[in-house]
Structure 1
Amino acid sequence: MKKIFILFIGVALGACSEDNFLQEETVGELTPEQALAPENVEGVIISAYSILNGQIDEATNAFNSPASNWSFGDVLSDDAYKGGGGTGDQNQIHQMEIYNTDPTIIDVQRKWLALYEGVNRANQAIRLLNASSAFDTELKAQRIGEMRFLRGHFYFELKKIYNQIPYIDETAESLEDYNVSNTALSSDQLWQKIEEDFQAAYTALPNAQDEPGRATKWAAQAYLTKTYVFQEKWTEANAAVDEVINSGQYSLMDNFRNVFLPENDNGSEIIFAIQHSINDGSPRNFNGGIGDRLAPPGGPFYPQYGFHRPTQNLINAYKTNAEGLPVMDNVDVTEGDFVDPRLDHTTARPGIPYLDLDSLYSESWARDLATYGPYGPKKRVVSANSSSYLPVWPYVNALNYYIIRYADLLLWKAEAAIELGDLESGRQYINQVRERAMNSEYVMMLDGSATAANYLVQPYASFANYDAAITALRTERRLELAHEGHRFFDLVRWGIAAKVINDYLEVERTRRTHLAGAQFEAGKHEYMPIPQAQVDLVGTDSINQNPGY
């Protein structure tokens, strides 16, 4: 089913290329009747979905606007180094990593452009749907719900990355309508607009869709939960998340590793995902995971791009004690230590088998070992043996990117419960995630005779108080969701980014000298600057630059 949906996207994009249909300004080349024909409206709808992967112009550098947020959510946190061929390779991401970001950085600009192009396409589709009398009435309501879901997603991303943003809806048509100040709406009002889109989507959408990748009622409710969580609206979040859990539509997969196999990426755990495919007829295979194409670890199986590298701090976070609970001492893991089994599914460590390649990962695979250390990415890397991996340029794969998966949702439920004073419910939901890790298949040595490390993870028996519970929750989110683009945004919403990151840097710079000049400034680095090109285009009377930039 995934392949069918991706081919549908490919056909739509091939038949209606960005040069002659999908850009808003070229709709005028069609007659009004043609533009409002159901098949052409559906083409615009598909174009709105297609922008989810961050690809805006058929350029090769969608890694500067990655849907996975590997640079924005992981490299800016304590979970990942930029990697690559030293600090000069994609130097602008290095500048982001050491908190020397400025408004001219290409990643800051392209991420903004990709997200607003998504907003633009969703708005365009809503306008056409509202104007089309030929479009099936019942299906029209559903499609508008899908577009409001996508618009909510694009604005959510803009809000969490840039904070104060211009808000433009489907009523904007003239050039003047787009000259909107980023302070026209307050932060609370922006959140309200995002909530309204997800609420409308929840009302309009079906429980399930025939075509994987289309938004559903429960995906909208899950995203509404996330919106409440980011605002610390715990009562609302708790009620919304309960609806999704009680729907019975989702469950944890039995095996943690299987979640990240392409053949399972529309499985029971996936609430909403960006659909990727390869060898689908698109001329450059840009329907694959183009934003993450620099992640392969090198070695004998992959090109040696070597980006998105695990930090020593992240490796150490998986160490456990004799009770199978996190140690959290940031002392380097040794061969005899107990470790959470998710460590060797998430990261590549020397001497540990790499996926199903019948080979041990070696530090010789690591590009620029002296700068970035020996570890590599693993969780979202597709096996070179898989038909879902493209072994030629642009070296992309067909693994979907999971915007929301069920483990994430369970941890929101745990967090809401803890914040509302129900520590026991919080413990139970955290333990659902830990028990899955405990019962998963562990990485084995090549001959299958023993586990590859001393794996030990156990559920929590109790929480003595709120501090113990919230620490466990935050630790579990890191261990479960590492290298999925969430960590930095969690730290910001918890209000602890400056402390956690500066504590991390104090130790990590003694291990990795490329971090020598890094320092996180509270009140500034929680958000990216508004791109300078946007400021220049609209003017300083309309755009207020974020503090400190």
Structure 2
Amino acid sequence: MKNILKINSRVFLLGLIMTLVLTESCSDDYLEEVTYGEVPPSEMTKAENVEKAIIAAYSVLNGQIDGASNAYNSPASNWSFGDVVSDDCYKGGGGTGDQNQIHQMELYNTSPTIYDVERKWMALYEGVKRTNEAMKLLNASEDFDADLKIQRHAELRFLRGHYYFELKKIYNHIPYIDETAETVSDYARSNTEFSSEQLWGKIEEDFQEAYNVLPDSQEEAGRPNKLAAMAYLAKTYLFQQKWEDAYDATTIVMGGNYGLLDDFQEVFLPENDNSREVIFAVQYSINDGQSSNYNGSIGDRLTAPGGPYYAQYGFHRPSQNLVNAFKTNIYGLPIEDNIDITDTDNVDPRLDITIGRPGIPYKDLDILYEANWARDLATYGPYGPKKRIVSANSSYHVSVWPYVNALNYYIIRYAEVLLWRAEAAVELGNLEEARALVNQIRERAANSEYVKTLDGAADAANYNIGTYDIVWTDVVDARNKVRLESRLELAMEGHRFFNLVRWGIAEQIINEYLSVEKNRRSHLTNASFTAGKNEYWPIPQEYIDSVKEGLVTQNDGYN
């Protein structure tokens, strides 16, 4: 059993009397006050109940906000919000009508009434609300240990920073509510009260305050430490293109105890998911007493790849474009021709760790992945997710409904920090430092254990990955190489779309991708990315309708 912070949503029912809930779409009132539990108000500020409220703030990290099993509509991994709407993967499932709202997202035909748009908003604001409420209880508690109170407050600042970071990168113009909120109406706020710069400033402030107070290490995995706060601050700077600040922040993180694991495959094993490479993660566990294993990877349960060992959900299917991106030349460097890979091509070894390909062994199951594992092969092609799928042989995998596992979702891992620093180094003119950082990532991949044939006698494909040995002198070329390395290293981890947006190239890359991919996958025939609109999701219509008329401004293009 992993030694982690126990996240159990039931403690929230014991920990709070009143909660401000953004309810599901079946409610007539999007902002509804709900009474939970029978704990007297005088008991609320007792230390043990305050701790329960703090745990409740953590518990929303996995996207699960109620007793249903549909956290896949608000997944912590952002597989639908960060991958399906990028050039990395297709929705998958049983055809375009299966979770059709995600199909509409894939076509960039998103509307303010799409359930996932509403559900993600609700989950993140539930996190904000629980964090704010826990802060108030903590501040009011007289018997809470004084030193621990300071630390717990910093943890809550970190959590609030995370929830708002997610809201900002997904919806852009968002209402901001802090711990001074007292009533339901305090949560009915304008989304234009603060400028984009001011919102980023508030997120920065939460992470900076967390960094100032948090300890260097935590006894319980799942609680952020000092360097986790600095890493998130670096990411916040990166999204604003504050290159010097991002560079300085990564200097601090890289001076700590984090580092790359020796083997790329081992990063994504549940027994290693609080390793030195993982800076902050959503903690998943199974068989821990929680109903229906909802503390497992509930938001990713639809990504089960099918075949003889897994459920036949079949979502989150890698694109042909992504598969082709792993092709390499005789020197082991990316080719980027988007010509379909053949059995004789050289490929980056991360390909068959990240993606299930026909004829290649799948995990340690002593079986070859087959194209017919796909639930709808004709629509979504032959490839399946692999990197974040847990072996069916593992004790961390649940083979019955809801088919979840205990592999954490890594919000930030050390490889990302290296790539962020490489980005900042390029923009600051330190091209050779950027080359060395990218090579560090590629060397790890080269030195990892490669996927073998079933008999273990040979490599399963022509794996060839090399480093960039020629000096980088061109900024544009260096920038593109760093961005490509980010795609290859982080593929299928929910980051691709958001990176394209912050790089300012989403319209170019996605429409170039679609111009070719439409000839491969007919379900994309009507897909088109509109610049100035599709970079962000719409504000949920139900939220707009529930507050004072004119208070909320819809994002551009969705009126």
TM-score range, shorter chain: over 0.9
Q: How does 1:288-327 map to 2 (within 5 A)?
A: 288-327=296-335
Deviation (angstroms), 1:3: 4.2
Distance 1:98 1:512 in 2: 12
1:114 aligns with: 123
1:397 aligns with: 405
Deviation (angstroms), 1:97: 0.2
Deviation (angstroms), 1:359: 0.2
| Alignment partner of 2:227 out of 218, 223, 233 | 218
1:125 aligns with: 134
Deviation (angstroms), 1:4: 4.9
4+ aligned runs moved over 6 Å, structure 1? none
1:402-441 deviation line (CA, Å, top 9, x unaligned): 0000000100011111110000011111111111001000
Task: Extract unaligned runs of 5+ from structure 2.
Answer: 21-33
2:56 aligns with: 47
Q: Does 2:374 match 1:378?
A: no
| Alignment partner of 1:434 out of 436, 442, 450 | 442
- Out of 504-513 and 20-29, give the one that drifted further: 20-29
Whether the 8 Å CA contact 1:3–1:277 is kept in 2: the answer is no
Residue identity in the other structure for 2:222? G
SS at match of 2:303: coil
Q: How does 1:343-382 map to 2 (within 5 A)?
A: 343-382=351-390
Q: Does 2:520 match 1:511?
A: yes
2:344 aligns with: 336
Residue identity in the other structure for 2:451? V
Q: Does 2:281 match 1:273?
A: yes
TM-score by length of 1: 0.97
Distance 1:20 1:36 in 2: 10
Percent identity between the aligned chains? 64
1:348-389 deviation line (CA, Å, top 9, x unaligned): 000000000000001111111000000000000000000000
2:489 aligns with: 480
Residue identity in the other structure for 2:219? D
2:529 aligns with: 520
1:68 aligns with: 77
Distance 1:71 1:28 in 2: 34
1:59 aligns with: 68
Task: Extract unaligned runs of 5+ from structure 1.
Answer: none
Deviation (angstroms), 1:20: 6.9
Distance 1:314 1:446 in 2: 25
Whether the 8 Å CA contact 2:296–2:405 is kept in 1: the answer is yes
Distance 1:178 1:17 in 2: 21
Whether the 8 Å CA contact 2:15–2:52 is kept in 1: the answer is no
Deviation (angstroms), 1:32: 3.4
Label 1:534 to 1:16 Cα distance change in 2 as closer, same or farther (>3 A): closer
Deviation (angstroms), 1:5: 2.6
SS at match of 1:71: helix
Q: How does 1:16-55 map to 2 (within 5 A)?
A: 16-17=12-13, 23=19, 26=35, 29-55=38-64
Q: Does 2:439 match 1:443?
A: no
SS at match of 1:404: strand
SS at match of 1:332: coil
Label 1:22 to 1:425 Cα distance change in 2 as closer, same or farther (>3 A): farther
Whether the 8 Å CA contact 1:2–1:275 is kept in 2: the answer is no
Whether the 8 Å CA contact 1:119–1:155 is kept in 2: the answer is yes
Number of aligned positions between the proteins: 544
Deviation (angstroms), 1:177: 1.9
SS at match of 2:293: coil
Q: Does 2:82 match 1:80?
A: no
2:550 aligns with: 541
Deviation (angstroms), 1:27: 6.8
Label 1:243 to 1:20 Cα distance change in 2 as closer, same or farther (>3 A): closer
SS at match of 2:279: strand
Distance 2:511 2:295 in 1: 38
Q: How does 1:148-227 map to 2 (within 5 A)?
A: 148-227=157-236
Whether the 8 Å CA contact 1:22–1:44 is kept in 2: the answer is no
2:25 aligns with: none
2:109 aligns with: 100
Distance 1:23 1:205 in 2: 27
Residue identity in the other structure for 1:383? S
Whether the 8 Å CA contact 1:63–1:290 is kept in 2: the answer is yes
Deviation (angstroms), 1:312: 0.2
Distance 1:47 1:151 in 2: 13
Deviation (angstroms), 1:176: 2.9
Whether the 8 Å CA contact 1:418–1:469 is kept in 2: the answer is yes
1:513-535 deviation line (CA, Å, top 9, x unaligned): 00000000000000000000001
Q: Does 2:305 match 1:259?
A: no
Residue identity in the other structure for 1:114? A
